């Protein structure tokens, strides 16, 4: 399990973390396009962070965890702030609310225990994998493309996620 893949999955799967209450006037297509645009922007921001190289060059696990805090957490926070303007179709509100809970827990894991993402066998990394699977299921039920924001994926905006070479 690679740290960049875990974090990109956490970000892309947790795309629907903010928004207003359900709206009868919002179409699924508009909702999906809005979410995918934010997802693609986040993937592009993550692509600018050569996390694998930065972590490989770290002198200690503490320094590597600091890199996660300094480089990844701000990207995740920015994407959450961007989603505050996304309107949600009323019939998607329940799944959206569940995804909010899952995504909030993902952000808490990254923020509170960045060290856990350095060890794929750690409880934090295992919990992140569980949350990613749950978020993937919720995103699928909301009609979000499976490759939204993932490395090499193409979202509704036509933007392509950066390839994960590491």
Domain boundaries, the chain: 3-14+27-141
Q: What is the pLDDT of residues 121-144, one digit of tens each?
A: 888 889 988 998 998 898 889 888
**Mind giving me the DSSP string for 72-113?**
IHHHHHHHHHHGGG--EEGGGHHHHHHHHHHHHHHHHHHHH-
Distance CA 99, CA 137 (A): 9
Provide the sign of the torsion angle of the four alpha carbons 22, 23, 28, 30, taken in this order. Answer: negative
Is residue 166 classed as helix, strand or coil in its secondary structure? coil
Q: What is the pLDDT of residues 51-91, one digit of tens each?
A: 777 777 777 878 888 888 888 888 888 877 777 678 989 99
Considering the entire predicted model, what is its pTM? 0.70
Distance CA 155, CA 159 (A): 6
């Amino acid at each position: 399990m690679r740290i960049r893949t875990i974090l990109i999955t956490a970000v892309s799967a947790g795309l629907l973390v903010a928004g207003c209450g359900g709206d009868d006037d919002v179409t699924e297509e508009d909702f999906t396009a809005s979410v995918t645009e934010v997802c693609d922007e986040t993937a592009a921001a993550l692509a600018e962070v050569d996390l694998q190289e930065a972590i490989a060059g770290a002198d200690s696990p503490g320094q590597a965890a600091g890199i996660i805090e300094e480089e990844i957490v701000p990207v995740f926070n920015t994407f959450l702030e961007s989603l505050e303007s996304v309107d949600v179709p009323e019939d998607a509100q329940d799944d959206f609310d569940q995804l909010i809970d899952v995504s909030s827990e993902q952000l808490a894991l990254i923020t509170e225990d960045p060290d856990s993402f350095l060890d794929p066998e750690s409880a934090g990394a295992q919990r992140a994998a569980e949350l990613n699977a749950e978020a993937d299921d919720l995103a699928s039920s909301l009609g979000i493309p499976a490759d939204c924001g993932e490395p090499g994926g193409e979202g509704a905006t036509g933007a392509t996620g950066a390839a994960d070479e590491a």
